[in-house]
């Protein structure tokens, strides 16, 4: 009996050892580590996203490619030993927590993530699905008071009217809703896409450890949607004074350069404050526009009572080649 008990304990310790190894994923400079998820990728939280770089399969429209994440360590980073936290969310709402560790040669380069590794079962049991959202969910959203009116009504706040209904049923995100209430449609489109995974690679402006990232540019109907992420890796809070947009000409720093204010049609969750060591996603929507090769869209973010101001120059190729929303 004693021998059996000892063998049982050894077996349990071995299982715990395997689980501990599964929680740590090795990442190398010279090899890509492949993660295969059980459901399509949604977004991730990466403690050191400038060191542990994330990418995705290109030139593939297969369903499998939506479940693949590629990890590699930044070749220009000076570190010889490094690790960080890494959490992946899939579109079904499940979250998977890992530690990423820098190694010379990973012993295993392909990791299959399974649903029994999920770390947010309790959260999922209390979470309402998107189909259960009702008007009160939107009405309580803090972005409503900051929503701007369409261009041409400067200074006037946009009044969010109750959702249009047909036979007392709320309208889905359809063209019918767009025709009946354009602003409500745009607001809902922002709501459902505010946390989309960024597809524009490393497009950002920074001041020390404060970053303004351009995550995505979308086009639908007659609007251009810009998705941003304001990341504050410093300990001091970042208070936003204003964010302005303008069309700028650039003739190699010539004195003839001109900036013309370009007012948004709609702002969604533009933050007033980003606390230290946190980030905020927000979206800004414009009436359809394009740029010629000598113009760009300038984004100027001004810090209130501070000097950590950011300017992001968005090239005409980015604006003129937007993505479409996934259905």
Kindly state the average pLDDT of the residues 208-224. Answer: 96
pLDDT of residue 195: 92
Residues 6+ apart with CB under 8 A from 182: none
**Closest by alpha carbon to 323, among 198, 192, 153?**
198
Minimum mean pLDDT range among 24-33, 109-118, 177-186, 252-261: 252-261
Residue 57 binned pLDDT confidence (cut-offs 50, 70, 90): confident
For the segment 61-73, the average pLDDT, to the nearest whole number, is: 84
Tell me the per-residue pLDDT of 114-162, one tens digit each, with 9 for 90 and over: 988 888 776 665 554 433 444 334 433 444 334 333 333 333 333 333 4
Structure pTM?
A: 0.52
Distance between CA atoms of residues 163 and 187, nearest Å: 11
Domains and CATH numbers, the chain: 2-125 (2.60.40), 128-327 (no CATH)
Confidence of residue 14 (pLDDT cuts 50, 70, 90): very low
Lookup result for tokens 């939280």: 45
Strand, coil or helix: 65 = helix
pLDDT band at 111 (very low <50, low <70, confident <90, very high): very high
CA–CA gap between residue 171 and residue 167 (Å, rounded): 10
Q: Where is pLDDT greater, at 13 or 153?
A: 13
126: left (phi over 0), alpha (psi -120 to 50) or beta: alpha
**How many angstroms separate the CA atoms of 100 and 106, rounded?**
11
Distance CA 173, CA 192 (A): 10
Number of Cβ within 10 Å of residue 39's Cβ equals 15
Q: What are the Cα distances from residue 150, in Å, to 186, 190, 225, 242?
A: 11, 15, 14, 18
Per residue in 264-318, pLDDT tens? 999 999 999 999 999 999 999 999 999 998 899 999 999 999 999 999 999 999 9
Q: What is the pLDDT of residue 254?
A: 55
* Alpha-carbon gap, residue 185 to 176, rounded angstroms: 9
Mean pLDDT taken over the chain: 80
Say if residue 170's pLDDT is above 70. no
Cβ atoms within 10 Å of 228's Cβ, excluding its own: 25
């Amino acid at each position: 009996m004693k021998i059996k008990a000892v063998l049982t304990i050894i077996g349990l310790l071995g299982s715990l050892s395997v689980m501990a190894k599964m929680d740590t994923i090795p990442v190398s400079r010279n090899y890509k580590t492949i993660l295969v998820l059980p459901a399509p990728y949604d977004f991730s939280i990466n403690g050191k996203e400038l060191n542990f770089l994330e990418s995705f399969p290109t030139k593939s429209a297969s369903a499998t490619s939506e479940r693949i994440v590629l990890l590699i360590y930044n070749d220009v980073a000076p570190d010889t030993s490094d690790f960080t936290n890494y959490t992946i969310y899939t579109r079904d709402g499940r979250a998977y927590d890992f530690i990423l560790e820098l190694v010379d040669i990973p012993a295993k380069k392909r990791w299959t993530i399974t649903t029994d590794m999920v770390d947010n079962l309790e959260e999922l049991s209390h979470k309402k699905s998107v189909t259960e959202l009702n008007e009160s969910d939107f009405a309580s959203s803090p972005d409503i008071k900051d929503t701007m009116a369409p261009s041409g009504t400067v200074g006037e706040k946009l009044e969010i009217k109750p959702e249009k209904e047909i036979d007392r049923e709320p309208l889905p995100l359809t063209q019918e809703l767009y025709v009946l209430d354009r602003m409500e449609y745009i607001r809902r489109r922002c709501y459902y896409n505010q946390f989309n995974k960024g597809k524009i690679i490393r497009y950002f402006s920074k001041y020390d450890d404060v970053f303004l990232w351009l995550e995505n540019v979308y086009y639908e109907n007659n609007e251009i949607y810009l998705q941003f992420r304001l990341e504050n890796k410093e300990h001091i809070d970042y208070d936003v004074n204003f964010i302005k947009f303008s069309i700028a000409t650039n003739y190699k720093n010539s004195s003839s350069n001109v900036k013309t204010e370009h007012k948004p049609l709609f702002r969604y969750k533009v933050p007033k404050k980003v606390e230290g060591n946190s980030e905020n996603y927000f979206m800004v929507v414009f009436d359809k526009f394009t740029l010629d090769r000598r113009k760009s869209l300038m984004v100027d973010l001004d810090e209130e009572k501070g000097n950590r101001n950011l300017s992001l120059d968005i090239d005409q190729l980015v604006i003129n080649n937007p993505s479409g929303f996934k259905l």
